[in-house]
Every structure is written in structure tokens, then in C-alpha cells.
Amino acid sequence: MAKNQPVVPKGLPVISQRELTIAVKVAAKNAGFDLVGITPATSPPGFARFTEWLNQGFAGEMQYLPRRAGAYAHPEHVMPGVSSVIMLAINYHTGASLSSLAESSLAEVSSETARVARYAQGTLDYHDLLRAKLKQLATTLHELQPGCHTRGVVDTAPLLERDFARLAGLGWFGKNTMLINKRAGSWLLLAAMLTDLELEADPIHETAHCGTCTRCLDVCPTDAFVAPYVLDARRCISYLTIELRQPIPLELREGIGDWLFGCDLCQDVCPWNRKAPLTLEPTFQPQQDLHPASALKILKLSEAEFVTRYKSTPLARPGWEGLRRNAAIVLGNSGDSALIPELEASLDDASPLVREALEWAITQLGKTAAENQGH
């Protein structure tokens, strides 16, 4: 018997590779994944590009990436003996963006209104959601093939998920570096199931369908795209508001606008997302206090209140100080000088990180007030 072929204990029906592959895909859909594709475990074609990206310093403070860079060379480093990579995606598209809601008067918008990226507006951290679905899928795989080995991965292991998603036929890379699927667009969260089972591979998605379109590149207010398909994370609003633990660079603060956490701009403008289907997953539905969020309320949160409200959501990632820093930047960009007393009142109990952002915001709003008086 060939290495990693299905082993069927006595008493169980013999199942072919084709039948097993179909059963795996059905199990993935039953677990709640919207897309599933399979590719052999191989060295990802984007590994050299990833290494060069790291060497350019584009990862910023995300030192967990270069620290284990070599492990991205092959999924064998994630799971020894792996033969197949089952790539999975779940749709998190919940509908209208905040800007279009505001235009139709469906949301209360004020000078303290702040935006939160779509994937983070729901009730649960997507890592927890996807891990639960991976666990369900793994259980079914072990029922189909007792003795097989699996490992589920959600964006925390050294695996180039988007590379393997393309190899598994799930889509192509947009110029904003996102994976785009012809039917589902790019509102996708990826996960992978590694297994030692030899499954039938899906055709690779060889062709990109972006043509001459550059809307995603043009819309970025902080010019985070060095070139098509190349993102400098150090200038990306998502990185600045989620991963960066230091003060946000002065020259990028105005570009952040009203983004409290993350950013959806380069996906909002993508033509492939115009007809993207809505998610059926209830945990992604926007919570009232996150769509829109109040930057002023976030700023005034105590640490205990922050933990209670956000500990199981993506907004826990930047931490209490990081989220309050972001809120101060948003308020500084609001142009509403009436907020200055509120900001000044928050100075006394602020950490150095938050205090610096507050002082910047007060200065910005003071300039706005002076300009308005001059007119």
C-alpha cells in the first residue's frame, strides 16, 4: 500500500480516494465552511516572495513572522507526514458598509462615530469560530478513516494560507493581496486542515481576473501598497490599529480617519465584492455598539469594562491601551473642537501611549477651531 493511503480497519467498507475526497468536502460544508478545496502538501510558490517581503521590513513589529520564517517553506514543518492540505473559507460579508448606512440614515452618525472592520463587528473572535468548525471536520475525518492524522490551522501556524488557497482552486490574488473568489468575492476568512490522507487535488486557480483595475490601490489613504500585490504593513490601517503597540506614526494619523479597528476600504471598492453573497453565520452579524462604534465611549472605558465587553472578540487584540489610543486618533480626526474638554478630562488617568495620542488629538482639534474662526 502506498504511503499515506487510507487504511480501513476490518469490518469497515473499502473507500476509494475519490469517494473519500467527496466525503471530506461534504463534511467541510456540513461543518459550516462555505468554500473547500484540496491541494497536495508542497512547498508554496510564494515562499521566496514572502521571504523577500520580510527582508524589506514590511512586516513591521510582527516579529512572529520572521522568527519562524523557515517553517513557512513546507507544511511538513506544521505537521510531519502531511500529504494533503484541505483549504477552507467562511464568508463574513454582512451587507452594507457603514458609509452607505450613514447615507441612508440607518445608522446614528456623529463626530465621535468610529468604524470597525466587518470581521470584528460580531459576537465572537473568528479564531474560536473556525477552530470549532475545524474540530467538527476533524472528528468526521477520523470517523471516515480511523487512524488518520490531522491538524487544523487558523492563521496561527507557519502556513501561507493564501498560497495554498490558490493552489486548492479557491481563488486568485487581488492587487490588494487578498484572495478573491469569483462567486464569493474577498470577504473570506481562511482555515486549513492538514492530513496524512492522500486526497484528490483540485485544479490550481492560475488566472487573475483584476485586469487593469487599481481601485483597491487608489483608495488606500495611507498609501500602504508599495506596488500591486505588495503591502507595506507598516502603513496599513489594519496593522496600525491592531498590531502596532507603539504610537502611530504622526504622518499616518490623518489617513486613519475614523477607523477604530481594522479597515475594509480596499475590499469595499473591489468590483468582485459588488455581488458577494451575504454570510449565513449569525456570529458575524454586527453588534449595535460596533456598527458604528463610539470613539468617545471607547476612550472612557475602564480596563475592567474593556475586558468584560471585548475579551472574546477581535477587539481584544490591541489591548485596552491600544484601542483607547485608536479612539483618541479618531476623535482627533473628527474636526469637532467641542470634543476638546472630553479629551482633556481623559488626560489624567491615561497611560503614556494614550496620553500622547490625546495630546495630538487636542492639538489637531485646536488647529481646526482656529481655522474655522479665521473664516
Give 136-159 pLDDT, tens digit per residue: 999 999 999 999 999 999 999 999
Residue 85 bridge partners (DSSP): 39, 194
| pLDDT tens digits, one per residue of 284-339 | 999 999 989 999 999 999 999 999 999 999 999 999 999 999 999 999 999 999 99
For the chain, how many structural domains are there in total?
2
The answer to whether residue 165 is domain-embedded is: yes
Q: Which of 128, 155, 218, 289 is catalytic?
A: 155
134-164 per-residue burial string, b: 16 or more CB within 10 A, e: under 16:
bebbbebbeebbeebbbbbbbeebbbbbbbb
pLDDT at 104: 39
From residue 266, alpha-carbon distances to 46, 118, 170, 215 in Å are: 22, 13, 20, 7
pLDDT at 15: 83
> Range of 366's domain?
215-374
Q: Are residues 158 and 271 in the same domain?
A: no
CATH number at residue 156: 3.40.109
Which residues lie closer than 8 Å to 259 by C-beta, 6 or more apart? 114, 115, 117, 237, 241, 326, 330
Packing angle, helices 126-144 and 17-30, rounded to 10:
150
What's the pLDDT band for 11 if we cut at 50, 70, 90?
Answer: very low
Of 148, 165, 195, the one marking the end of a domain is 195
Q: Are residues 219 and 190 in the same domain?
A: no
- With contact defined as beta carbons under 8 Å apart, do 249 and 104 qualify? no
Q: Are residues 163 and 265 in the same domain?
A: no
pLDDT at 1: 42
Q: Are residues 285 and 324 in the same domain?
A: yes
The answer to whether residue 111 is domain-embedded is: no
pLDDT at 9: 43
Packing angle, helices 303-310 and 319-332, rounded to 10:
100
From residue 116, alpha-carbon distances to 140, 260, 287, 368 in Å are: 35, 6, 11, 25
pLDDT at 368: 82
| pLDDT tens digits, one per residue of 194-203 | 999 999 999 9
Active site residue 155: yes
Q: Report the mean per-residue pLDDT for the chain.
A: 93
The answer to whether residue 308 is domain-embedded is: yes
Q: Whole-angstrom Cα distance, residue 154 to residue 282?
A: 19
- Asked whether the predicted pLDDT for residue 99 surpasses 80, the reply is no
Average pLDDT for 67-73: 98
Average pLDDT for 4-32: 78
